[in-house]
Structure 1
Amino acid sequence: MTDLLAARSQMAMSLAFHIIFACIGIGMPLLMVISESLWLKTQNKVYLSLAKKWAKGTAIMFAVGAVSGTVLSFELGLLWPEFMLHAGPIIGMPFSLEGFAFFLEAIFLGIYLYGWDRVSSKMHLFSGIMVMLSGMFSGIFVVMANAWMNSPAGFEWVNGQFVNIDPFTAMLNPSALPYALHMTLAAFVSVAFVVAGIHAFVLLRKPKSEFHYCALRIALSVAIVTSILQPISGDISAKNTAKQQPAKLAAMEAQWETEKGAPLRIGGWPDVENEQTLYAIEIPYLLSFLSFGTFDAEVKGLKEFPKEDRPPVAVVHFAFQIMVGCGSFMMLLGMIGAYFFLRKQPINNKVWYLRLLVFAAPMGFIATEAGWTVTEVGRQPWIIYNIMRTSDAVTTMPNLVVPFIVFTILYIFLFVMVLYLMRLYVLNSYED
């Protein structure tokens, strides 16, 4: 394994691990707030119990996310010193704001966890809302920094140096809003479906449990709204990618030839050697329409770019297909759930639907991991798109495979501990 591959693998593993806890930090507080609001409105103690149990789970995930996030911040400087040397003054602002939001989240999470019966009900609910907002903005600021890497703005590149830096323009780069919207909705979708799946699993054995039925209705309500909105944000993000990173779009769709009226591909196997895509189901003209809004728009193919500037096509294409497939299935489940809600039909006795929710429980996180793979691998070989190559940004320290192995063991240990704690403090307590 080369040092470059080891550094990229370590960063990819760290991000893949951390993003789960970042999503939970964004999504779980919303469920807590909804549950507490229903408690204050109805005085039904089931909602109070739910809010407290979800808060416990959130606290565990927040602690692990803080650890994995700290590791990531060190890795940026240690593994990619050339990147931080040049980009640090630009991405410093969103990362500083992320740190402020993180500390704000920690403060209000402490009030929420230990403020029951110690602060007023309105103040306690307000603290939950602040946990939700600060967690959401913490994620948004990080995504803004990543968006800048994909569509750099707010500077002039002169003789290998960034000059005339405008940090506000950099932070509000062309990809900032599409990325932030898509990632935030992904967090809510992921958390809502995994929580819905957990309670649906218990309801299959205990269909008359009021606790689990109320929990499922709250989680499913969030899942319905966000799973239907997510494809809209995906369309916005795809149009932005078509404009800002045509090579990434071509890799996502395994589009080799530049053509007008380009087809949308479902499935398919990219044959990189022969530069063609095999076995795909093609829908004529749809890629052009989805990318640019007209059926005869020209879509650049991979052959337009030198081979050394193309992303790894197979990885990006398969990851994109996984993301879209999982997202479409969750949207379908959300629409079915919305139908049940509108018809005021109980769902605790619909065994087939509960089984589908259990099956779909991990799909949000699978889609999120796949989406980040598309974002990061699709930008390659650039760490700053069309400015700095990833190979030029890596540290010169040798034997990077050693820290990669060490951190892999660390993350496996943390993962096992999280599963143990969640079962001990949260999942076991669901057996009411």
Structure 2
Amino acid sequence: MTALGDLLAARMQMAMSLGWHIVLACLGVGFPALVLLAEWRGLRTRDETWTLIARRWAKALAVVFAVGAVSGTILSFEMGLLWPGLMGTYGEVIGLPFAIEGIAFFIEAIFLGIYLYAWGRLPPRAHLLAGLPIIVAGIASAFFVVTANAWMQTPVGFRVEDGRVVAASPWRAMFNPAMPHETVHMIVAALMVSGFLVACVYAVALLRGRRDVYHRRAFGLAFTLGAIAAPVQVVVGDVAARAVADLEPIKLAAMEALLRSEQGAPLQVGGVLSDGELRYALTIPHGLSLLVSGDPNSTVPGLETVPPVLRPPVMMVHWSFDIMVGLAFVLLGLSLWFAVAAWRRRALPASSWFYRLAVLAGPAAVVALECGWVVTEVGRQPWIVYGYLLTAHAVNPVAGLRLGFYGLIPVYVFLTIAAIYVLRRLARTPLPTGVAEHVADYRAVGGRS
């Protein structure tokens, strides 16, 4: 058995790697769509500003992809090095989506290279078409990785006889019960993060007075992607929560800090666990039962249905879930503000407060994403394969795992600094004179709304 310190270090290392990589993975899904949308607008309108946006974003995409490839490779090694009990025992069951994801990654890399090299070397429409596989491969890569994670929540496609895995069915395992809602939830989240994160950069520029057509269009396109994804994500999140209630009742109990099974269970927001009770929470009577089943008097299982050693850390899961949901609705409200301005004025919002909030929307989307993964992963604990394999039994038994965690911290610090430095250098590249001077006649950002 691995020492507790090494088990914690292995979990922290995996959390750090996943938490860092997932942001880049989201950009790998949504950013290519933004690049191609800008290029398509340029072809359709014959406006060089759109083409300039696409060219500059493509360079940023190359940086994001390169750094993401490094962090993704680290994660691949960690799966085998840190968790041999998982991959050694269940590799034949769940190895298929990892293999397909590798193929999708190489397709994405190949076509990204073609797309970048072919600027000015292919006819415009052919160049645009060459970028479509980047989007498809990025979405496929996210889909197949998340199917593997979904299997860890709802493992199927095998039997265990005499302590050994038999009758493995990789396709059945890949299309497990949690796969539909978890993959859709993740892909929509990737579009939200991409849209709001890119838009927040241009919101800063607009607040600083850079109101040329380049910055307005770049902001408008990126924010539109996030604003479209936001209401979809709220609906998908509701569907996902209902699925969790059916498939993973203990995780739902942790999400809602429901300590005991209740008929007409309340919805509890916030609060602090003290002396076996949740205190200071905002409580909505019968709310959880109504949301889960549509019946305000239905019974929702609580955490007492499993022994204490098999319960996830309640407060971490509960607060992460509340933060994720709260930020989702804040982003939804900001998206509605954007949509109303576009409908009424056919222009960007004029209020400086909108852009201040848009600056925060990028980090808020990332925080919501990270909280969602905390709910997914920590809410499954102490199981790595729910109901079959404990995390403590899957970790590498070799002593000294904490050294790997400590050694990896400077690697991620370096990658973060290097990525930010290169992206800032790209952002500071001067705009062509004609674009920089093209400022439309509209109410300046900072005026009254």
What TM-score, normalized to structure 1? 0.97
Within 2, Cα distance between the matches of 1:212 and 1:24?
20
- Secondary structure at the residue paired with 1:206? coil
1:359-398 equivalences under 5 Å are 359-398=360-399
- Secondary structure at the residue paired with 1:270? strand
Question: Is the contact between residue 338 and residue 349 of structure 2 (CA under 8 Å) also seen in structure 1?
Answer: no
Note the C-alpha offset of 1:428.
4.8
Note the C-alpha offset of 1:123.
2.0
Q: Report what 2:63 is aligned to.
A: 60
- Secondary structure at the residue paired with 2:345? coil
Task: Please tell me whether residue 141 in structure 1 is matched to residue 133 in structure 2.
Answer: no
Note the C-alpha offset of 1:345.
4.0
Q: Report what 1:332 is aligned to.
A: 333
Within 1, Cα distance between the matches of 2:14 and 2:135?
27
Within 2, Cα distance between the matches of 1:357 and 1:384?
39
Task: Please tell me whether residue 102 in structure 1 is matched to residue 114 in structure 2.
Answer: no
Question: Is the contact between residue 347 and residue 353 of structure 1 (CA under 8 Å) also seen in structure 2?
Answer: no
Question: Is the contact between residue 208 and residue 348 of structure 1 (CA under 8 Å) also seen in structure 2?
Answer: no
Q: Report what 1:419 is aligned to.
A: 420
AA matched with 2:298: A
- Secondary structure at the residue paired with 2:290? helix
Within 1, Cα distance between the matches of 2:112 and 2:431?
22
Q: Report what 2:30 is aligned to.
A: 27
Q: Report what 2:88 is aligned to.
A: 85
Note the C-alpha offset of 1:409.
1.4
Q: Report what 1:17 is aligned to.
A: 20
The runs of 5 or more residues in structure 2 that have no matched partner are: 437-449
Note the C-alpha offset of 1:127.
2.0
Within 1, Cα distance between the matches of 2:349 and 2:234?
28
AA matched with 1:420: Y
- Secondary structure at the residue paired with 1:2? helix
Question: Is the contact between residue 341 and residue 349 of structure 2 (CA under 8 Å) also seen in structure 1?
Answer: no
Within 2, Cα distance between the matches of 1:130 and 1:419?
27
Task: Please tell me whether residue 227 in structure 1 is matched to residue 230 in structure 2.
Answer: yes
Within 1, Cα distance between the matches of 2:428 and 2:296?
50
Q: Report what 1:39 is aligned to.
A: 42
Q: Deviations over 1:19-72 (max 9, x none)?
A: 111011011011011101100100111100110111111110100111111111
Question: Is the contact between residue 105 and residue 131 of structure 1 (CA under 8 Å) also seen in structure 2?
Answer: yes
Could you list the structure 1 runs, at least 4 aligned residues long, displaced by more than 6 angstroms after superposition: none
Q: Report what 1:172 is aligned to.
A: 175
Task: Please tell me whether residue 406 in structure 1 is matched to residue 407 in structure 2.
Answer: yes
Question: Is the contact between residue 228 and residue 335 of structure 1 (CA under 8 Å) also seen in structure 2?
Answer: no
AA matched with 2:390: R
Within 2, Cα distance between the matches of 1:429 and 1:199?
15
Residue 254 (structure 2) aligned to one of 251, 254, 262 = 251
AA matched with 2:344: R
AA matched with 1:396: P
Within 2, Cα distance between the matches of 1:53 and 1:252?
41
AA matched with 2:199: A
Within 2, Cα distance between the matches of 1:209 and 1:422?
20
- Secondary structure at the residue paired with 2:384? strand
Identity %: 43
AA matched with 1:232: V
Question: Is the contact between residue 207 and residue 348 of structure 1 (CA under 8 Å) also seen in structure 2?
Answer: no
Within 1, Cα distance between the matches of 2:431 and 2:149?
38
Q: How many residues align?
A: 430
CA RMSD in angstroms comes to 1.4
- Secondary structure at the residue paired with 1:368? helix
AA matched with 2:79: L
What TM-score, normalized to structure 2? 0.93
- Secondary structure at the residue paired with 2:273? strand
Question: Is the contact between residue 197 and residue 365 of structure 2 (CA under 8 Å) also seen in structure 1?
Answer: yes
Task: Please tell me whether residue 187 in structure 1 is matched to residue 190 in structure 2.
Answer: yes
AA matched with 1:78: L
Deviates more, 1:344-353 or 1:315-324: 344-353
Q: Report what 1:323 is aligned to.
A: 324
Question: Is the contact between residue 259 and residue 299 of structure 1 (CA under 8 Å) also seen in structure 2?
Answer: yes
